[in-house]
Amino acid sequence: MDEAPSNGAGDLRVWHHPVLGELQEARPVQITVDGQPLVAREGEVIAAALLAHGILVCRAMPRGREPRGVFCALGRCSDCLITVDGEPNVRACLTPVREGQVIWTQAGLGRWEGPAG
Amino acid sequence: MKTTGIVVIGAGPAGIAAALAAAEVGTSVTVIDEHPAVGGQLRWRIAPLRGLDEALDGLPACRAAETLHERLAASGVSVLAGAVAWGLFEDGSLAVAAPDGGFRLQAEKIVVATGSVDLVLPFAGWTLPGVLTARAAQIMLHLHRVLPGRRVAVIGEGLDAAELASDLEMAGAEVVLRAADPAQVVASGEGRVERVSANGERREADAVVIALGRQPDPELALQAQVEFGYSVRLGCHLPLRSELLETSRPGLYVAGEAAGAVDLAESFAEGRLAGLAAAGATPERIATAQEALARARSPERSAEVDRMRPGSLGEARPETGTGAPWTSWAEAAAGGGQDDTLARVALCRCEQVTVGEVRQAIEEGALTINDIKRRTRAGMGLCQGIFCTRAMALLLHASRGIPLSEIAPMTERPPTRPIPLASLVEIEE
């Protein structure tokens, strides 16, 4: 990634920072979220990739389908549970992005659609 | 079962200082941390450090984390990153879920340096996507370099809130609203934060950061059922410790924010003392570390620590009046006011139990946090009560007049985190 992507409105990345300096280049990683392709940065967690693209909702709660997103980002609150490659209840704030990852925002406790076992 | 000399749980400022100090004495040391890298809160903070040691002075915290990582690597300390110490059992053994499997670990001494978590209290709209904790915001801003929002409201009035407001602005976000009391805040929007109002002010906003401060998180010490006592300053219970930071359970030490340390310098100095004491360092060395710790503490904090020795009950607070932190929130949450917005707000985010439902349980006779949990499921979810038990204690205090000092923490049981079943199987192999 040579420059800030053109999708300015949705791009929430901090490219310049007075203490941390310029954001270093990272290898782009292609993932899909609810069927839409999205370019993440190698090394980042799913929650950061979603947030950078303005996607805030990770799941709908069992009661009332109340939407939830990243709350603690430390793996403690489990608000950011999401379905990754068919496996439900993956913590988006702790799980790194991987090339080709298929991510679905999750309804309730999710449904297992991953490989058996 | 694996064995080691000293296990330090948590690789933040206190844990790293403890591990380095114990290794200096020549003991075998293992540090366990659930994050992928060591440094704890230093990793996601950028504030310049003061008073840890000369080499670290003035460095942004995240750079100091790298320096401390190098020191650990050079010290011979064995570092288990990405591993969760999820149980501390009666025989003194620890259960660990590591990336490559689960195992049990027997140590001669254990130093719990698990730090703190964000203190949060419910307000209208606080479960909306876009509302996040101070740490989550710092992790997004500084570790992942993503703005949690462009127009952000910050809740809180202490040092954490000031740091967050500065962090947000430095990264290019606009702080559109500051509010001191969470009970006065209303966040709203369709499926995400779009507006925030507090104290008659109303702003368009796309994120809300809760920066009320921190609460100690000594969960393994709670599991081990060491003696706890009440801290008036924090309005919660803390593990009671000897002058050498040992708990009522011999060989179990707690250091740093997990035991109520005020700042990074105190955490670092506590870690060093606990590490030396656990490793059986010479009296001279221990005395030097004690002097350094005394210098890192304010007179008020030193007095507080002196009152909270094993065998005491901590600081009693027999009166039921206000003055403890967040009693204003408690009074609003206990209801009776004209505007009872809080009644419909989730107190327990995980199990979606509202303030009103908890209030009902208290009216029906619940007198303890455990009792509320059994009646409502509040505190039974994936966060294990870490983000809701404070609100329960405050609500019990405000509705029943029970002094906060007499409201015991929720019973802590293993596992402290969701762990794969496979790691239980591996433990017995």
Helix (H), strand (E), coil (C) string for B188-234? ECCCCCCEEEECCEEEECCEEEECCCEEECCHHHHHCCCCEEEECCC
Where does the pLDDT of residue B143 fall: very low under 50, low under 70, confident under 90, or very high at 90 and above?
Answer: very high
Q: What is the mean pLDDT of residues B130-141?
A: 98
B349 at A interface, C-beta within 8 A: yes
By the 8 A CB rule, do B72 and B38 touch? yes
Cross-chain CB nearest to B350 (options A13, A15, A78): A78
The count of C-alpha atoms lying within 13 angstroms of the C-alpha of B8, restricted to the half-sphere facing its C-beta, is 39
pLDDT at residue B320, as a whole number: 46
Cross-chain CB nearest to A73 (options B136, B352, B382): B136
Where does the pLDDT of residue B420 fall: very low under 50, low under 70, confident under 90, or very high at 90 and above?
Answer: confident
* Subunit contact A72:B117, Cβ cutoff 8 A: yes
User: Exposed/middle/buried for B4, CB within 10 Å: 0-12, 13-18, 19+?
Assistant: middle
Where does the pLDDT of residue B218 fall: very low under 50, low under 70, confident under 90, or very high at 90 and above?
Answer: very high
* Subunit contact A14:B141, Cβ cutoff 8 A: yes
pLDDT at residue A109, as a whole number: 84
A59 at B interface, C-beta within 8 A: no
More confident residue, B327 or B38: B38
By the 8 A CB rule, do B160 and B166 touch? no
The tens digit of pLDDT for each residue in B98-109 reads 988 999 999 999
Q: List Cβ neighbours of B137 (8 Å cut-off, separation of 6 or more).
A: B148, B152, B164, B167, B168, B207, B209, B211
Contacts of B135 in chain A (CB under 8 A): 72-74
The tens digit of pLDDT for each residue in A15-31 reads 999 999 999 999 999 99
The count of C-alpha atoms lying within 13 angstroms of the C-alpha of B312, restricted to the half-sphere facing its C-beta, is 19
User: Does B120-212 carry CATH code 3.50.50.60?
Assistant: yes
* Subunit contact A76:B387, Cβ cutoff 8 A: yes
The tens digit of pLDDT for each residue in A27-78 reads 999 999 999 999 999 999 999 999 999 999 999 999 999 999 999 999 999 8
Cross-chain CB nearest to B144 (options A44, A56, A62): A44
Domain covering B2-117+215-307, topology: FAD/NAD(P)-binding domain (3.50.50)
Q: What is the ipTM of this complex?
A: 0.93
pLDDT at residue B34, as a whole number: 94
Where does the pLDDT of residue B137 fall: very low under 50, low under 70, confident under 90, or very high at 90 and above?
Answer: very high
* Subunit contact A71:B192, Cβ cutoff 8 A: no
pLDDT at residue B239, as a whole number: 96
Tokens at A54, concatenated: 């303005």
Cross-chain CB nearest to A71 (options B34, B131, B172): B131
Which ranges of A37-90 does DSSP label H, i.e. alpha helix?
A: 46-52
| Mean pLDDT for all residues in chain B | 93
Where does the pLDDT of residue A3 fall: very low under 50, low under 70, confident under 90, or very high at 90 and above?
Answer: very low
B148 at A interface, C-beta within 8 A: yes
Where does the pLDDT of residue B219 fall: very low under 50, low under 70, confident under 90, or very high at 90 and above?
Answer: very high
The tens digit of pLDDT for each residue in B226-268 reads 999 999 889 899 999 999 999 999 999 999 999 999 999 999 9
Q: What percent of chain B has pLDDT over 70?
A: 97
B60 at A interface, C-beta within 8 A: yes
Where does the pLDDT of residue B429 fall: very low under 50, low under 70, confident under 90, or very high at 90 and above?
Answer: low
pLDDT at residue B174, as a whole number: 98
Torsion of CA B12, B14, B18, B24, to 10 degrees: 80
B172 at A interface, C-beta within 8 A: yes
d(CA B399, CA B395): 6
Which DSSP letter does residue A41 get? E
pLDDT at residue A4, as a whole number: 41
Tokens at B185, concatenated: 């805040």
User: Which residues are bridge partners to A35 per DSSP?
Assistant: none
* 3-state secondary structure string across chain B: CEEEEEEEECCCHHHHHHHHHHHHHCCCEEEEECCCCCCHHHHHCCCECCCCCCCCCCCEHHHHHHHHHHHHHHHCCEEEECCEEEEECCCCEEEEEECCEEEEEEEEEEEECCCEEECCCCCECCCCCCEEEHHHHHHHHHHCCECCCCEEEEECCCHHHHHHHHHHHHCCCEEEEEECCHHHEEEECCCCCCEEEECCEEEECCEEEECCCEEECCHHHHHCCCCEEEECCCCEEEECCCCCCECCCCCEEECHHHHCCCCHHHHHHHHHHHHHHHHCCCHHHHHHHHHHHHHHCCHHHHHHHHHCCCCCCECCCCCCCCCCCCHHHHHHHHCCCCCCHHHHCEEECCCCEEHHHHHHHHHCCCCCHHHHHHHHCCCCCCCCCCCCHHHHHHHHHHHHCCCHHHCCCCCCCCCCCCCCHHHHHHHCC
The tens digit of pLDDT for each residue in B294-318 reads 999 999 999 999 999 998 877 765 4
pLDDT at residue B355, as a whole number: 97
- Best probe of the A interface among B114, B119, B144, by most A CBs < 10 A, is B144
Q: Is the pLDDT reported for residue B386 higher than 90?
A: yes
Contacts of B349 in chain A (CB under 8 A): 68, 71, 77, 79
* Subunit contact A56:B130, Cβ cutoff 8 A: yes
pLDDT at residue B314, as a whole number: 72
Q: Which residues of chain B are in CATH 3.50.50.60 domains?
A: 2-117+215-307, 120-212
Q: Which residues of chain B are in CATH 1.10.10.1100 domains?
A: 327-402
Tokens at B144, concatenated: 């992942």
Where does the pLDDT of residue A115 fall: very low under 50, low under 70, confident under 90, or very high at 90 and above?
Answer: low
Q: Is the pLDDT reported for residue B412 higher than 70?
A: yes
d(CA B8, CA B19): 6
Which DSSP letter does residue A53 get? T
A46 at B interface, C-beta within 8 A: no
* Subunit contact A52:B387, Cβ cutoff 8 A: no
A9 at B interface, C-beta within 8 A: no
Q: Is the pLDDT reported for residue B133 higher than 80?
A: yes
Contacts of B357 in chain A (CB under 8 A): none
Domain covering A27-107, topology: Ubiquitin-like (UB roll) (3.10.20)
Contacts of A15 in chain B (CB under 8 A): 145
* Subunit contact B144:A45, Cβ cutoff 8 A: yes
d(CA B349, CA B286): 44
- CATH code: domain B327-402 is 1.10.10.1100
3 state SS of A46: helix
The tens digit of pLDDT for each residue in B326-382 reads 888 999 999 866 678 899 999 999 999 999 999 999 999 999 999 999 999 999 999
Q: Choose among B8, B3, B90, B18: nearest CA to B293.
A: B18
